Amino acid sequence: MEKRNNKYKIQLEEVELKDGSQTGKKLTIEIENHDDLFQIIETAKSKNIFPDTQQATEFALGLKLFTEVVLRNKENPLFEDLKPAIGAFMQKLKKV
């Protein structure tokens, strides 16, 4: 049986830069992830480890995007030093 991933579309729109300018840049990407990202985000929000749910959402989404790329490229020497730390971090996070 073929293992399938969940598919998502992420849209990023630049609203305002720190100098007050607006460029209107937009980016849309489609990604795959083995986890249910909405469930991960809800779990992060419910743990109350950040001051607000916005930060929990940013954290969960950023972490899942990053770690999925690391998993797909686990043989890449760039991630060699990070893999043990990521594993330890993920175990600590799951205990929270």
Q: Over the chain (96 residues), what is each successive 10-residue block's mean pLDDT?
A: 87 94 94 95 95 97 96 95 94 92
User: Please, which residues have CB within 8 angstroms of residue 64's CB and are 6 or more apart in sequence?
Assistant: 33, 35, 37, 40
Q: What is the pLDDT of residue 21?
A: 93
CB 79 within 8 A of CB 66: no
Distance CA 69, CA 83 (A): 12
Beta-bridge partner residues of 30: 9
Q: What is the pTM of this model?
A: 0.85
Report pLDDT for 1: 65
Q: Are strands 6-13 and 26-33 parallel, antiparallel or unpaired?
A: antiparallel
